[in-house]
Amino acid sequence: MSKEIKEVPVLRVQNLGITFGGLKAVDSFSIDIGKSEFVGLIGPNGAGKTTVFNLLTGVYMPTEGSFYLEGQKMNGKKTHQVVAAGISRTFQNIRLFKKMTVIENVMVTMNMHMSYSLVSSIFRLPKYWKQEEEARKKALELLDIVNLKDKADITAENLPYGQQRRLEIARALGTGMKLLLLDEPAAGMNPTETSELLDIINVIRTKFNISILLIEHDMSLVMKVCERIQVIDYGVTIASGTPEEIANNPKVIEAYLGKDEEEGVALC
């Protein structure tokens, strides 16, 4: 009888943790994310969510545990190596090249895939122009997905806040990642902007067939897009399951709202 062969997860995290000055910010964090899976990572403020992202992108080096991208161990790799391997992210606080144009912000993420030489770049040889044109075309396609194609030549700092958020997503997509980490993409957005973001996320899921790990405080957004949700509090996982299971989990409700079992408070 043949054994069932399980697909290697895009991301496998095993007992990942980090300690700052004797304080465990993240403790024994584990998660598997399969191909094209959309997973939410939620928890109260200060729970350690962004710290997890910083561990997965080489900003911090874990003091315990390990993590793998399609079976490749990523511990100890620097941020640019992590991005080259296939993990990209957005940030809680917008980080754009604000003096560059919208399209330049996206094209700069494609530099790692350029193969023309320094000589070709200096003397503007045919190989340089060909690859730059290909990058520009791809950048415009990504900007179209996030509804910013008509803003391509505007300086990034002149975009409204919500559009800057969407530009960050386009820039992350430009790296050609396998796993996209979205850190509170709806933060500061009004309901109309959040609704547009939801549409964009759904297009990204369909078009790119990538895995996504989302941190978000807007529970209505989380419940609509995530197939599975993991909850951490004080750096420790307290629950994992479907959106419905999480919304009615007493431990999760207590972590967010305080213990009130009689009222049966749910998150959605």
Query: Domains of the chain, with CATH numbers?
Result: 11-96+176-257 (3.40.50.300)
**Average pLDDT rounded to a whole number, residues 46-67:** 97
Given its phi and psi angles, is residue 100 left (phi above 0), alpha (psi -120 to 50 degrees) or beta? Answer: beta
Q: Are strands 11-20 and 64-69 parallel, antiparallel or unpaired?
A: antiparallel
- Strands, E, within 43-199: which ranges? 64-69, 72-73, 87-89, 179-183
**Average pLDDT rounded to a whole number, residues 103-131:** 80
What's the CA gap between 131 and 116, in Å, rounded?
A: 8
Residue 1 has pLDDT above 60, yes or no: no
- Mean pLDDT rounded to a whole number for the chain: 90
Residues 6+ away with beta carbon under 8 Å from 110? 135, 138, 139, 174, 175, 176
What's the CA gap between 265 and 268, in Å, rounded?
A: 9
The pLDDT value recorded for residue 6 is 65
Q: How confident is the model at residue 160 (pLDDT cuts 50, 70, 90)?
A: very high
pLDDT in tens, 67-116: 999 999 999 999 999 999 999 999 988 999 999 999 999 999 997 777 67
Residue 123 has pLDDT above 70, yes or no: no
DSSP codes, 67-83 = EEETTEE-TT--HHHHH
Q: Calculate the CA dihedral of residues 83, 34, 68, 54 and round it to 10 degrees.
A: 50
The pLDDT value recorded for residue 258 is 67
The residues pairing with 182 across neighbouring beta strands, listed in sequence order, are: 214
pTM: 0.88
Residue 197 has pLDDT above 70, yes or no: yes
The pLDDT value recorded for residue 130 is 84
